């Protein structure tokens, strides 16, 4: 499958690397590829610049948002929630139409410091706003409740845990679920329509406080039934 990963941060790098290892043809989308490769400073989380990662993953193409999405069978939105709509707009509605769009972003608002609040919640979600803005795309919310390494290698925890999918299109959810299983996720729960993404997005306040209590993001929820 040809997959576009929009975003060059830690999440984008993890997903691009993991999907490439599965044999997919992956292109990473960014606003300005030359500028992205020219950066030499660590990102805001202290991670090495993208060029360091890209030098180790030469099989992954780096191109613009629009070019990455145009050639893709499936698009992964792996940027920050605050930039999500702008990134997809840059990718182009025509390039998203009819395609599954895996939304991993979260509506985190850091304007008042850490821990962040949510800029949309309760009666709406970022995933719903994305679906409303791009009605011809087939948006699926998933993986937003995990730290980046566990998104692509859940076996690092030593036992199975749970991930969720939300979306209005059954075929798109099936395609995303197939990717999740390929990455090693053994327990995938389909919550229902895109409005159920409110639940997984509102899990983030608990996730952030659990991370602070444990001192690590290497954990996940397991639904026992």
Per-residue pLDDT tens listing for the chain (225 residues): 999 999 999 999 999 999 999 999 999 999 999 999 998 888 777 788 999 999 999 999 999 999 999 999 999 999 999 999 999 999 999 999 999 999 999 999 999 998 999 999 999 999 999 999 999 999 999 999 999 999 999 999 999 999 999 999 999 999 999 999 999 999 999 999 999 999 999 999 999 999 999 999 999 999 999
The dihedrals phi and psi of 4, each to the nearest 5 degrees, come to -100, 130
Q: In what order do the strands lie in the sheet with 162-167?
A: 61-64, 25-30, 2-6, 74-77, 100-103, 138-142, 162-167, 187-192
pLDDT value at residue 44: 72
Q: How many other C-beta atoms can be found within 10 angstroms of the C-beta atom of residue 152?
A: 24
Q: How many other C-beta atoms can be found within 10 angstroms of the C-beta atom of residue 144?
A: 25
pLDDT value at residue 52: 94
Q: Which residue has the tokens 């962040």?
A: 116
pLDDT value at residue 47: 81
Nearest to 77 by CA among 93, 65, 64, 95: 65
pLDDT value at residue 107: 98
Ranges of each domain in the chain: 2-214
User: Left if phi > 0, otherwise alpha if psi is -120 to 50, otherwise beta: which for 215?
Assistant: left
CATH superfamily of 2-214: NAD(P)-binding Rossmann-like Domain (3.40.50.720)
pLDDT value at residue 43: 79
Q: Are 12 and 173 spatial neighbours (Cβ–Cβ below 8 Å)?
A: no
Task: Provide the token pair at 155.
Answer: 């076996």
């Amino acid at each position: 499958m040809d997959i576009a990963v929009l975003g060059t941060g830690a999440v984008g790098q993890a997903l691009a690397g993991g999907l490439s290892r599965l044999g997919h043809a992956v292109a990473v989308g960014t606003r300005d590829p030359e500028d992205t490769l020219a950066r030499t400073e660590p990102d805001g989380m202290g991670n090495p610049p993208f060029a360091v990662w890209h030098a180790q993953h030469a099989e992954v193409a780096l191109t613009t948002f629009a070019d990455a999405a145009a050639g893709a069978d499936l698009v992964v939105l792996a940027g920050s929630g605050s930039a999500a709509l702008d990134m997809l707009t840059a990718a182009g509605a025509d390039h998203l139409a009819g395609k599954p769009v895996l939304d991993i972003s979260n509506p985190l608002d850091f304007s008042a410091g850490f821990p962040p609040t949510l800029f949309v919640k309760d009666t709406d979600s970022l995933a719903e706003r994305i679906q409303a803005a791009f009605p011809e795309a087939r948006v699926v919310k998933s993986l937003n409740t995990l730290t980046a390494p566990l998104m692509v290698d859940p076996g690092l925890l030593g036992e199975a845990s749970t991930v969720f999918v939300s979306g209005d299109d059954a075929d798109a959810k099936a395609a995303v679920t197939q990717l999740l299983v390929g990455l090693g996720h053994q327990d995938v729960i389909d919550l229902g329509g895109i409005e159920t993404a409110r639940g997984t997005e509102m899990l983030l306040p608990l996730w952030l406080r659990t991370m602070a209590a444990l001192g690590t993001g290497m954990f996940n929820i397991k639904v026992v039934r």
